[in-house]
Chains A and B, each alone.
Chain A
Amino acid sequence: MTTDTDLEAEIQRLLTEHDRIAEQGITVQRRDHLIVLGGEVESAQRRDEICKQISTHFPDVQITCDIGITRAQAPSEVEEIS
């Protein structure tokens, strides 16, 4: 049985080790009875898969997804290294 203390760790491991996710950059924070997910991923499909897998593996956990999609536009500035 997963205890409250272990829950965040269990979710972190699921996000890293699940074949369809493999994300190490997602933050998992508990707020009262809610788990808030943060960070950024490369596509909307990846974000949706994260939420789907957490809901499947932890059906009693209420999650809020604040995961963003990392922007991929060209830069407008150059940094001079000295």
Chain B
Amino acid sequence: MIRIAAVGDVHVDKDVVGRYRPALEELPDQADALLVAGDLTRHGTPEEARCFAKEFGGLAVPVVVVLGNHDHQSDQQEQVTEVLTDAGITVLEGAATVLEIRGHRLGIAGTKGFGGGFAGACASNFGEREMKDFVGTTERFATVLENALNSVECDALVALTHYAPVPETLVGEPLEIYAFLGSYQLGRAIDAAPTALALHGHAHHGSERGRTPGGVPVRNVAHPVIKQAYNVYQLLSDEVDATLATAR
């Protein structure tokens, strides 16, 4: 059994420091790792990243994150990543990490992702340079996600993105903006690997649950959707050993 906690879109700045900490201090009793699905900050400044690191760093469980669109707002994503990494937080962008948890290997592959839309209403790599750049960006993020997912050997594989890989978890958002909230190409990348669970944020008014066309469970963990500090998901339940199940 592996338990992972997840949340996204926490948008930390000075005014939020301290809000999450009481719940985060309970994490060791609830989960083996914390995954954060982007939009860690409001404007993507190193100062805000330090606030995030203060609030979400120094926990008794590993913390793995991807950046979101807000974390790119100030064009300082490299500095933001450096602040987080220095605080012991693993930042994934087209990369994967493996956590050893009570004899199991939990693989996490992550990328921010991008928009582009879904079947029947997606952008095409055609026409103006700007449109080709837009769709080309989507394709690039999907490719790095697929490569990252297939780069690890593990017992349970989790895909972590900011943008949504399926439209089901966007239900509640205006249809007109679906193309700016996610892309079917992320879902296709997730289906191209033995993914056990896909986590994303970004869609504050979306829905919590969906599945990729290939059947992978998808969870929108945007904070306004889950309405608590984090959700906890249990993987590898079939392999549970009673003595291990109560280990935490």
Contacts and interface: CB of A to CB of B under 8 A. Distances in A.
Interface of A: 19, 22, 24-25, 27, 39-40, 42-43, 45-46, 70-75, 77-82
Interface in B208-244: 217, 219, 223-224, 227-235, 237
A80 B235 CA distance: 7
Contacts of B10: 42
Contacts of A82: 217, 237
Given A79-B234, A80-B234, A81-B196, A72 B19 contact: yes
Interface in B183-228: 196-197, 204-205, 217, 219, 223-224, 227-228
A78 B125 CA distance: 41
A71 B228 contact: yes
Given A22-B73, A39-B204, A70 B223 contact: yes
A72 B234 contact: no
Interface residues of B, number: 35
Contact of A46 (B15, B224, B232, B237): B15
30 contacts: A22-B11, A22-B42, A25-B205, A25-B224, A27-B205, A39-B204, A39-B224, A42-B10, A42-B15, A43-B15, A46-B15, A70-B223, A70-B224, A71-B227, A72-B19, A73-B228, A74-B23, A74-B30, A74-B228, A74-B230, A75-B228, A77-B232, A79-B231, A79-B233, A80-B233, A80-B234, A81-B196, A81-B233, A81-B237, A82-B217
A78 B42 contact: no
Contacts, number: 80
Interface of B: 3, 9-12, 15-16, 19-20, 22-23, 26, 30, 42-43, 70, 73, 196-197, 204-205, 217, 219, 223-224, 227-235, 237
Nearest to A77: B232
A52 to B, nearest CB: 14
A43 B16 contact: yes
Given A42-B11, A43-B19, A81-B217, 18 more contacts: A22-B70, A24-B204, A25-B204, A39-B205, A40-B223, A40-B224, A42-B10, A42-B223, A45-B15, A70-B224, A72-B20, A72-B228, A78-B232, A79-B219, A79-B232, A80-B234, A80-B237, A81-B235
A6 B2 CA distance: 50
Given A46-B15, A81-B234, A73 B204 contact: no
A30 to B, nearest CB: 15
A-side binding surface: helix, strand, loop or mixed?
A: loop
A24 B42 CA distance: 10
A70 B7 CA distance: 12
A42 B223 CA distance: 9
Contacts of A73: 23, 228-229
B237 A40 contact: no
Contacts of A75: 30, 228-232
Residue of A19, A74, A77 contacting most chain B CB atoms (<10 Å) = A74
A25 B174 CA distance: 11
A27 B204 CA distance: 10
